[in-house]
Structure formats: C-alpha cells, structure tokens
Amino acid sequence: MAALQDGPVELDAEKETKPEILSDGTLNISGNTGNGALSSSPLTAAPAGGAPKQEDQQTLIAVLQFLKRNKLSESVDILRREAGLAEDQVDSLAADGSGGGKGDGDGGDANSLLSRVSITAAAAPQSTLTPVPVKRSEDHPDVRVVLSAYNQQGDPSLYQVYYSDLKNFIESVLDCHRAELSQLFYPLFVHMYLELVYNNNETKAKAFFDKFSGDQECYYLDDLRVLCSLSKKEHMKGNEALLDFRTSRFVLRISRDSYQLLKRHLQERHNNQIWNIIQEHLYIDIFDGMPRSKGQIDSMSGSLGGEAKREVNKAKVFYGLLKEPEIEVPLDDEDDEAENEEGKPKKKKTKKDSIGSKSKKQDPNAPQQNRIPLPELKDSDKLDKIMYLKESTKRIRLSPDNLPSVCFYTFLNAYQGLTAVDFTDDSSLLAGGFADSTVRVWTVTPKKLRKVKSAADLNLIDKESDDVLERIMDEKTASESKILHGHSGPVYGVSFSPDRNYLLSSSEDSTIRLWSLQTFTCLVGYKGHNYPVWDTQFSPFGYYFVSGGHDRVARLWATDHYQPLRIFAGHLADVTCTRFHPNSNYVATGSTDRTVRLWDVLNGNCVRIFTGHKGPIHCLAFSPNGKFLASGSTDGRVLLWDLGHGLMIGELKGHTDTIYALKFSRDGEILASGSMDNTVRLWDAMKAFDDVEMDDFTAATGHIHLPDNSQELLLGTYHSKSTPVTHLHFTRRNLLLAAGAYNSQ
C-alpha cells in the first residue's frame, strides 16, 4: 500500500494539466479496449513503482479479472488475499473493465479508488458529465463494497464536489423525499471529514468543514464543535466516542421510495465515493410506507448513533408489575394492630390484602415471579408493606384539578457542592452526596438518627428485654444528621435501600460504597468501573443495584457479590443515569450519546433503544404501572416512551435548561420535572398516555405523529428562588418533596 500512497501524492503535486489528461485518457482507452489487466498494467506501474513486480502482478491481476468476470467471487477473495494484492489495484482495473462502455476520460474517476491516477484530471471533466446517465454495469457490486476500504483515498478536493453534488440533488427532489434524504447530510459530512483528517489532509479537512458545517441541523452543533477541534490524526486516537462513531454504523431510516431515488442517483452519477461511505458507515433501515415529515424525523434523531433499527425494538418486554405477596391485614384499627402485625389470624375477622389477591391468573405482560431471583420477604419487610398499605389508603388522589403541594428542601451553605440527593421511600431520611466526597444523611421526621452501640456497650444490655431493638441504639450520639466519610472523590449518586438499612453511594473515585444505616459505617466498596461512576440505584426489592459510569457500561451488582453480575455494554458514550423498572427485571440507562436503552436483567440484552433527545440524558423515571418511561436531558425536553411498543408517545416542552429530576406521582397521574432553570413543572401524565392511539401502521413503522400539546399538559410551574432542583420525590400520600442547593449567584 505504501507504494500506492506515494502515487497519488506525486500526482497531486502536479497540477491538473492537459498532458495529464491526455495520458490518462490514453491509459483509460487502452484499458478499455484491452478489456483486461494486461493493457492497464501501465496504470499500476505508475503507483506501484517496482518494475520487477509488474509481470507477476500482471498475471495475477489478469487471473483475478477472469475470475471476476465469471462471477467466481470467493475464489477472487482467496486469491487476492494470498497474493497480498491491494484491493484497489485490482479494482481499479475492474472499474476500467466495467467502464468499457464509456470510452472517455470519466471511466477512470467513476471508481474513486482508481482515481489515484486519473483523479486530478477527472475533476474537470466530471462535472460536465453529470447529466449524462450512463448505464452502469452492476456486475461488480461486491467489488464496490470491498472498495470502501478504511483508507479511502478519494481526492480530498473531490469530497467537496461530491458533497455539493449530493446537496444539489437532494434539494431538487420532491418535498416528501427531501426531508428523509436530508438525514444523510450529517453522517456523510462527519465521515468525510474524519476520512480527510485520518488521511492527514488537514487543510482540505478544514476547508471542507468550513464550507458545509453551517448546513447541518442545529442540534448537532455541539458535536460539530468537537469535530472542529479535531484537525489531526493524533487527536482522533484518544477520542473513544469518535472512534466508535467511525466503526459503528450510523442508522438511518428511510422509506423505500426515497431510498430508490437516492440509489438511482448515486449509481448513475458514478458518485461512488458517497456510495462507498454509505455502504460502509451507514446502515439504512428501509421501511415501506409514506416518507416521514421533517417534524417526525427531527423528533427521532439527534443521537450519536443515528436512530434505532426497527428490529432492535421488537423484543418482548415484560413491563407488567410483579404480583404483590399476600399479606393478611387485620381489618381492625391501629390499637389492635400493634399486637398482631404478623398477620396471625385473630379471633376477629381478618381481611385478605386486596392488592395481592386481585387476580389469580398471570398478567401476560408481567414477568414470572421467578424470572430473576429475588430476595424473600423478611418479617420486617412485611411490616413495612403493611405500613405502606396503610399510608396508601390515606393517599391524596391527584388530578389536574387537585395538584400536589410541593415541599422544597433547600441545602444552604453547600457551596454548589451538592451533587446527588435521595429520599427513602417512606420519606423519613434524606441523603446528600457532595463534591467534597462526603455523604450526609438527615432525618426528615422528628425521630433522630441513632447508631448501634459499640460492642462494649452491647454487652451490658439485657438481651431478653422486649425493647432490645431500642436498647441497642446509642442515645448519646443521636443527632439529626450524620456524615459518612470514605470516598475520595465527589459523590455523584446516592440511593437508599427499600428496607432503609443500607445506603449506596457512587463516586468519581470509581467505587460504589455500601453504608450501613444502623452503624453509619461503610460496609463494602465495590470496584469494577475504573472511571467515575455517575449514578447508582438499588432495586425496588433490594439486594440488586445498578451503576453506570464513564466507561460506557452499566453494571448490575448484588450486595453479596464483589463483582458485577451483569454488564450492559452498548452505549457509545458515558452512562449518566440508571434506573430499575418497578418489577426489577429491566434496567433503563440514559447516556451522553443521547439514547435511552432498556436492558433485560436476566440475560443482559438490550431490548429497547430510544432516540430523540438532542442532548445528554440526565434523568429517567418509570411510571408506577411499569408501562411508560420518561426521560429528561440537557435540551430541556421530557420525552415519554411506551415500553411495550417501543415508541415515543409524548414530548413535553417547557423547561429552558437541563432537567435533573423526574418523578411520577404514586398512582401515575402526574409527572413532576425539576430543572436547572429553578422550576418544578407538573404535567398531566394521564392525559399524555391516553392520547396515544396505536394503529397498525404506527406500530409497524414506529412513526407516530406527536401532537404538540405540551401547553395543555402543563399543569403548573413553580419557581424557586435561584435554587436548581436536584431531586424530586412523591411521598406515599402524594405530597411532592423537592431538594436542591441554594445557588446564590
């Protein structure tokens, strides 16, 4: 390949001169008439440079040509591999052979890899030939695919020409197709730019960038800025996200009609440079049906990897909730309850818990009880459940007419160091993670925080007394808040366990720590991520927890295993938010690559990919019935997703800054969102989910037309006095709690 690379360099140095054209013309003509490798050997001679190799190469190439003509593609590959021939050498001749019908200078440039020799010459004649449709021989499709080798060496100056041509073409097609084909601009632009940079054509890359970057969609602005700073090959090496972009295929969804139009155009214009890039770097998911409108496309695009392929979102997701275990709740009042909370049958009538025994048969959309191992309910868990049921009877029914009250917990004097907040489910404890690597736990109720006595004191208590559980707690050090030290970096995620015994915290020091809330000491440090861990959450049943970090994976852990149980890999950039589904069988992750993915805990597969956000996603919330997912990102929009069908069903616009907190009310009627713009907004979730109409077409193609009803769905906006909202929590009685650190600037 080295010799070949020298070739174009030499030729590029020479200006496009007449003699060159002539010589190329002669070469091509001779190639055409010769109709085979032998006559085009001077072609290879120029770049190859080594005279003694020519004869051997000639014969090899001749043989290859013969095989190709007889459609023996496999033998071609094998022979080519063994002979160690560079593909473009052969293919340049292939193009020559196939271009036999044209008989003029453009036969060379049609195939960009060939263009080593003729490219400079071809620049001039190419544009004049464009309107002439020439019957392109389709007999070497595999060659063309093979041609788009990694070191694609089209002439850099021609990239601009190709791109402008494509632009002109797309602008000239019918409106209905134009929106779809415009999707091509961005990935093509990025790939061509990266090719130029990769091949060390810095100035050309810069020129290309300057000319065409303004045409791209506005939501790609951040990416373009990053691209702009990349002007040398060395810059590319350290940038993992970019390398992934190069190797993974950007997915585009285009209707069949538009695709045919594009294909016809590219092939008739010999614009194989673009065709090659499309085939190598882009994945075009073709669907049958109406082309999409600009609005529809805009709502789904924006992610680093393009959109999601249709088959990715076809796996069955068990979004139903697990059946609640039956707990016998005594029918009578509180005073009797205290003695008999175990549910032992009393003399008085007892009533079965209505939640557990509602339906005997399995919800088809719910996973099996034993699909994933879940911890058994301990007695204390049963007590918790009874408390939960009692509280939920006192729950306020929320509706657009009956909005929740909001209680805001402001962290004063936090010096903007507050990085994570969590509430327990019964809203009795509040934990804050700070940039100074501490975790602080506060009690929200009048009951103070107590830790277990030291071993010396424990020996002295009477173990047989009834209130032994009270006695083991140390009254002397009871306080309203406790500080937990241990991390060596800012704490970015905190999560309480459902039984209020443990607290998890994840930090920039790449560890996740499990703290006991009975002794207020650190129990375990889980190491696995080698990079900052951005978020962590306990499963709704305890025992499992999920974490996501800078290394672009999310990991599922169990508290009693020092290594992760599952690794969810697939995102193209950091995983910033991880949430469990209410049935604990699925994990949703939001990432900086602007996609939300749903993973199956059982086997680690990605079952849903949702694209549409235009910025990194910072918060996720599952609806309590498990059917829907809401996600919020830096672009200030909240998107609603239907998990069963894998579609976007709503878009809530209103916030002007990053959304860091999302929570559904306890029965799923209201969605609350909190953002950096110091507001909490309430949205009508019931209405948003009711409006969804699913007909076969939308289910098949996934193109739903979203009504722009954000204004109707917005129920209220509540401003705080310069305190960005970091966390939201609905109490069991549907009171909304919010938390944030006061920002004095």
Partner 1 sequence: MASPKTVPKDAQVMMQILKDMGVTEYEPRVINQMLEFTYRYVTTIIEDAKIYSTHAKKSSVDADDIRLAIQCRVDQSFTSPPPRDFLLDIARQKNQTPLPLIKPYTGPRLPPDRYCLTAPNYRLKSLQKKVSSSTGRITVPRLSMGAVSSRPSTPTLGTPSVQTVGTKVGTPVSLTGQRFTVQIPNSQTASVKSATPTTPTVQNVLINPSLIGSKNILITTNMVSQNSSSDSTSLKRKHEDEDDYDAL
Is 325 in a helix, a strand, or coil?
Answer: coil
597 touching partner 1, by CB under 8 A: no
Site for partner 1 in 242-271 (CB under 8 A): 243-244, 247-248
> Which of the ranges 28-36, 220-228, 343-351, 656-664 carries the binding residues for partner 1, by CB under 8 A?
220-228
Q: Determine which residue in the list 351, 561, 705, 719 makes contact with partner 1, applying CB under 8 A.
A: 561
Q: For residue 112, give Cα distances in angstroms to 130, 143, 162, 270, 706.
A: 15, 12, 11, 9, 43
**CB closer to partner 1, 376 vs 462:** 376
- Which residue, 487 or 727, is less far from partner 1 as judged by CB? 487
Among the listed residues 50, 238, 364, 446, the single contact to partner 1 using CB under 8 A: 238
Backbone φ and ψ of 59, nearest 5°: -65, -40
- CB of 531 or CB of 697, closer to partner 1: 531
Binding status of residue 218 toward partner 1 by CB under 8 A: no
The kind and range of the H/E element at 736 are: strand 736-741
Tell me the C-alpha distance between 563 and 569, whole Å: 16
Q: Could you give the angle at the alpha carbon of 316 between the alpha carbons of 312 and 322, nearest 5°?
A: 135
Is 550 a binding residue for partner 1 by CB under 8 A? The answer is: yes
The residues in 344-403 that bind partner 1, with binding defined as CB under 8 A, are 372-376, 378
- 3-class DSSP assignment, residue 654: coil
Binding mask 608-627 for partner 1 (x = CB under 8 A): --------------------
Give the residue from 65, 1, 9, 4 showing the smallest Cα distance to 35: 65
Kind of pairing, strands 647-653 and 659-664?
A: unpaired
For residue 569, state whether it binds partner 1 (rule: CB under 8 A): yes
Shortest Cβ distance from residue 555 to partner 1 (Å)?
9
Least distance to partner 1, CB of residue 396, Å: 36
**Amino acid present at 159:** Y
Binding to partner 1 by CB under 8 A, coded x per residue (else -) over 442-481, reads -------------xx--x----------------------
CB of 152 to partner 1, least distance (A): 21
- Least Cβ distance, residue 439 to partner 1 (angstroms): 13
565 near partner 1, rule: CB under 8 A: yes
98-108 burial string, b = 16+ CB within 10 Å, else e?
bbbebeebbbb
The verdict on 232 binding partner 1 (CB under 8 A) reads no
Q: Is there a contact between 620 and 631 (Cβ–Cβ < 8 Å)?
A: yes
Give me the least distance between CB of 225 and partner 1, in Å please: 5
Closer CB to partner 1, residue 338 or residue 460? 460
User: What string of DSSP letters covers 473-535?
Assistant: B-STT-BSEEEE---SS-EEEEEE-TTSSEEEEEETTSEEEEEETTTTEEEEEEE--SS-EEE
Please tell me whether residue 525 binds partner 1 under the rule CB under 8 A.
Answer: yes
Stretch that binds partner 1, among 155-163, 193-201, 223-231, 350-358 (CB under 8 A): 223-231
Taking CB under 8 A as the criterion, which residues in 645-674 touch partner 1? Answer: none
Tokens of 125: 């004649």
CB of 371 to partner 1, least distance (A): 10
The stretch near partner 1 (CB under 8 A) out of 117-125, 126-134, 274-282, 527-535 is 527-535
Q: Which of 316, 485, 705, 719 binds partner 1 (CB under 8 A)?
A: 485
Q: How far is the CB of 602 from partner 1 (least distance, A)?
A: 7
Coil, strand or helix at 578 = strand
In a 3-state reduction of DSSP, which class is residue 23? helix
The nearest distance, CB 176 to partner 1, in angstroms, is 35
Q: Does 501 bind partner 1 (CB under 8 A)?
A: yes
Which CB atom, from 404 or from 724, has the smaller least distance to partner 1? Answer: 724
Residue 20 or 657 having the CB closest to partner 1: 657
Task: Please select the residue that binds partner 1; options are 72, 134, 522, 735, rule is CB under 8 A.
Answer: 522
Between 45 and 569, name the residue whose CB sits nearer to partner 1: 569
Q: Which of 29, 89, 10, 28 is nearest to 56 (CA)?
A: 89
Find the binder of partner 1 among 70, 362, 531, 719 (CB under 8 A): 531
Angstrom distance (rounded) from CA 305 to CA 190: 12
Q: CA 509, CA 486: separation in Å to the nearest integer?
A: 10
Q: Is 287 exposed, middle or buried (0-12, 13-18, 19+ CB in 10 A)?
A: middle
Whether the CB-CB separation of 252 and 277 falls below 8 Å is answered with no
**Sole binder of partner 1 in the list 50, 603, 693, 696 (CB under 8 A):** 603
**Residue type for 329, please?**
V
Q: Decide: 624 and 579 in contact? Cβ < 8 Å.
A: no
Q: Using the rule CB under 8 A, is 281 a contact of partner 1?
A: no
- Piece of 101-109, 225-233, 576-584, 734-742 that binds partner 1 (CB under 8 A): 225-233
Minimum Å distance from CB 398 to partner 1?
Answer: 36
Count of residues making up the chain: 745
Q: Are 527 and 551 a contacting pair, CB within 8 Å?
A: no
Q: Is 450 helix (H, G, I), strand (E, B) or coil?
A: coil
Q: Does 45 bind partner 1 (CB under 8 A)?
A: no
Quote the CA–CA distance of 223 and 604 in Å, as a whole number.
30
Rounded to 5°, the CA angle 206-211-214 comes to: 110
CA 539 to mean position of chain CA atoms: 22
Site string for partner 1, 398-437 (x = CB under 8 A): ----------------------------------------
Minimum Å distance from CB 727 to partner 1?
23
Residue 322, sorted as left (phi over 0), alpha (psi -120 to 50) or beta, turns out to be: beta
Binding test (CB under 8 A) with partner 1, winner from 222, 336, 339, 708: 222
Q: 455 or 469, CB closer to partner 1?
A: 455
486 binds partner 1, rule: CB under 8 A: yes
Which residues lie below 8 Å from residue 48, measured CB to CB, with a gap of 6+?
Answer: 3, 4, 7, 54, 57, 89
Per rule CB under 8 A, count of chain residues that contact partner 1 = 59
The helix/strand/coil state of 197 is helix
Q: Cβ closer to partner 1: 33 or 605?
A: 605
Residue placing its CB nearer to partner 1 in the complex, 2 or 456: 456
Contact (CB, 8 A) for 294 and 327: no
Instruction: By CB under 8 A, tell whether 543 contacts partner 1.
Output: yes
Q: Does 236 bind partner 1 (CB under 8 A)?
A: no
Where along the sequence are the contacts to partner 1 (CB under 8 A)?
A: 222, 225, 228-229, 238-240, 243-244, 247-248, 372-376, 378, 455-456, 459, 485-488, 501, 511, 514, 516, 521-525, 527, 530-531, 543, 550-553, 558-562, 564-570, 572, 601-605
